[in-house]
Chain A
């Protein structure tokens, strides 16, 4: 029997560690590293939504995470090739 509480607390742990890594983690002055660290916290939120049985919210979170990552990468690439200090 798999414990739901275990997944719940592991999801909270991942979200907090991922947000600390996004805020002050190693190498976050590169915006691409910062964007990737956001994904760790996002996986934690996915686990919590899975424990709460929110299927539609989980699917929408996955879809919007992918699209937001694409938008952020586009913005970062455009800003870097224009020579802005990112």
Chain B
């Protein structure tokens, strides 16, 4: 017997079993391919498919609970991919450093042609553009605002004005991330302890999420700028 909560929409009931089976099939294919492959970078790409299978199984629930569970799953998968790719790069670099006949090329480019943007606006007004994007992101709050503000930080990091930020600034961004977690947890706690202050706790959680997402997207931009020479 299957227990169905009364607030699940009628239309989603017939879609439950196909979605579960599709998730199982996709997960089976992905794990079989992972078992057959040897190279680590291929395994990292195939891990992406396992994440898609997870989304299938969770989305079959069909209520707001599914949406609330998919969001952290996606963000955790993103952080996991970033961390594992960094580990792969570090290990390969260590292997090359131990080799006496190494040929480590000095610079490379993310783009097929050299990425020299000779646009007037990138020379004169990156500060203004970044400020407008960050201000609009703070006005939006939440996940979307974090993405917009993070785009502003990436633009500032990639433009020519800000070259060679000190290590202290990277540490500062990590500290902001910790403060964001504290705000989020405080808002969550206040929501249960004192429900009459629900607006305050909602805004605490939204601002925490804004800081979190914006700092994470900004860090990715800083990483890419450190790696690839622009000229």
Contact = CB atoms under 8 A, between A and B. Distances in A.
Interface of A: 4-5, 8-9, 12, 15-16, 19-20, 22-24, 31, 34-35, 38, 41-42, 45, 48-49, 51-52, 54, 56-57, 59-61, 63-64, 67-68, 70-79, 81-86
B85 A52 contact: no
14 contacts: A19-B29, A22-B30, A22-B49, A38-B49, A60-B75, A61-B70, A64-B74, A64-B78, A68-B81, A71-B81, A72-B45, A77-B110, A78-B89, A78-B92
Interface of B: 11-12, 15, 18-19, 22, 25-26, 29-30, 32-33, 39, 41-42, 44-46, 48-49, 52, 55-56, 59, 62, 66-67, 70-71, 74-75, 77-78, 81-82, 85, 88-89, 92-93, 95-96, 103-105, 108, 110, 143-144, 147, 217, 220, 224, 227
Contact of A49 (B55, B85, B110): B55
Please report whether the interface of chain B is mostly helix, strand, loop or mixed according to DSSP: helix
Nearest to B59: A52
Contacts of A34: 42, 45-46
B81 A79 contact: no
A34 B46 CA distance: 8
B41 A79 contact: yes
Please report whether the interface of chain A is mostly helix, strand, loop or mixed according to DSSP: helix
Contact of A57 (B48, B52, B71, B227): B71
